Amino acid sequence: MTAPLTTLRGLDLLAEIQRLKSDRNAIILAHYYQKPEIQDLADFVGDSLDLSRKAAETDAQVIAFCGVRFMAETAKILSPEKTVILPDMDAGCSLEDSCPPDQFKAFREAHPDHIALTYINCSAAVKALSDIIVTSSSAQQILDQIPLDQKIIFGPDRHLGGYLARKTGREMLLWPGVCIVHQAFSETELLKLKAEHPGAPVAAHPECPPHIIEHADHVGSTRSILEYALATPADTLLVATEPHIIHQMEKAAPGKTFIGVPGGDGNCNCNMCPYMALNTLEKLYVALRDLEPRIDLSTQVMDAARLPLERMLQMAGNSVGKGDVGKPRIDNVVEPEDIDPNISGD
Ligand code: SF4
């Protein structure tokens, strides 16, 4: 539900959001890819695993989730008694779009001896069809706990799955989804930046394709990249993930220079997530005012999806903030032959 713009005219949005937050007993959770003004008023800013934990443990009655829909759905699944609102219900994800539940179900049924290790960037219905959910910061730790002879389907991000397979030597059957944002990073532009800033390390998210990862000095989740940015002695860092995370880097290390790796020909905005950008302060105000749009999922789907999510939280242990550091080791990826490549989100 979107209020007419006239009702927002003249409002002190920041003050009104704080007032509504208090009136509603609400908590505002924001992902690192949100606009700076949203990150700055959030009660907590984090990556998917951090945010899942916060959603599971909060005492607030309302969770205003400034991220994308699968993240808000995760919050609802972990705290079903709470009201979870998302400023714009159209905030989806190309990885979620790449993995329709009926096709995922059919793929699982075609491989009954495999378990499904599924990236959190998927719909609640796909989570309900999965055995264990992972985030980029917890994936390797969880993978290491699965017996070596257990066959694994990894979806929906083929780049994260491929990175894990190369790094650990585990063979996995990969679903062919991609993040349209990380897929868009340009190797040519990255090499130009490296030439312009000799010695500047590159930090990349494992959703990036291998031709970007191979230039990275650090590979990890958003939280892990943030920690690396602060820890590296280098005064300039090239960042190959959604560039809104640079806001937190600049706040924490104002003396350093952080440069977002461009996508395409270097002039497009394709390294920015179009879904995350749908959330605005105006929409957050309206969502808190009306408690809409809200996440509404069937009890059946939530109950089925909660189990693999709770396995993730249990198996991830204390991995928050300790992302998968390092470079891939060997090439050991089984590309799926029997999935229609057209269902990929790119
Ligand atoms: S950055 Fe990529 S993975 Fe993250 S929400 Fe946007 S499309 Fe999905």
Q: Which domain CATH number covers 202?
A: 3.40.50.10800
Residue 269 lies in a domain: no
The strands making up 114-119's β-sheet, listed across from edge to edge, are 132-134, 114-119, 151-155, 173-174
Whole-model pTM?
0.88
**Are 11 and 80 contained in the same domain?**
yes
84/48 same-domain check: yes
User: Are 160 and 119 contained in the same domain?
Assistant: yes
Same domain, 61 and 44: yes
Ligand 1 atom closest to Cα of 68? 5
* Residue-by-residue DSSP string for 38-49: HHHH-SEEE-HH
343 assigned to some structural domain: no
- Position 317 scores a pLDDT of 78
| Atom from ligand 1 closest to the CA of residue 33 | 1
One domain, residues 123 and 162: yes
- Residue-level pLDDT at 342: 31
Give the H/E segment covering residue 167.
helix 158-168
Q: What per-residue confidence (pLDDT) applies to 269?
A: 79
Domains held by the chain: number? 3
- Nearest to residue 196, comparing CAs of 268, 259, 265? 259
- The domain boundary, picked from 203, 236, 260, lies at 260
In a domain, 267, yes or no: no
- The answer to whether residues 253 and 105 belong to one domain is no
pLDDT at position 288 is: 98
73 lines ligand 1 (CB under 6 A): no
Nearest CA to 153 out of 95, 101, 109, 108 is that of: 108
On whether both 293 and 314 belong to a single domain, the answer is no
Q: Is the CB of residue 180 below 6 angstroms from any atom belonging to ligand 1? A: yes
> Could you give phi then psi for residue 44, rounded to 5 degrees?
-150, 135
Same domain, 194 and 150: no
> What local confidence, expressed as pLDDT, does residue 128 receive?
98
The torsion defined by the Cα of 167, 172, 173 and 174, in degrees rounded to 10, comes to -30
Give yes or no: residues 167 and 32 share one domain: no
- Residue 339 covered by a domain: no
Residues 194 and 166 in one domain: no
In a domain, 216, yes or no: yes
What does the mean pLDDT of the chain come to? 89
Residues 6+ away with beta carbon under 8 Å from 313 = 52, 53, 56
**Whether residue 312 is found in the same domain as residue 173:** yes
φ, ψ for residue 119, nearest 5 deg = -65, 145
Quote the domain boundaries for residue 231: 182-260
Mutate to test the pocket of ligand 1, among 31, 32, 35, 68 (most ligand atoms within 8 A of CB): 68
| Nearest C-alpha neighbor of 167 from the set 321, 331, 298, 47 | 331
Say how many Å lie between the CA of residue 95 and the centre of ligand 1. Answer: 7
Which residues of the chain fall below pLDDT 70?
1-7, 266, 318-346
Residue 159 belongs to what H/E stretch?
A: helix 158-168
**Do 173 and 312 have their domain in common?**
yes
| Residue 345 located in a structural domain | no
Whole-angstrom distance, CA of residue 167 vs CA of residue 226: 21
In a domain? residue 19: yes
Q: What is the pLDDT of residues 136-185, one digit of tens each?
A: 989 999 999 999 999 999 999 999 999 999 999 999 999 999 999 999 99
Nearest to 117 by CA among 173, 75, 47, 53: 173
Tell me, yes or no, whether 214 lies in a domain. Answer: yes
**pLDDT at residue 263, as a whole number:** 87
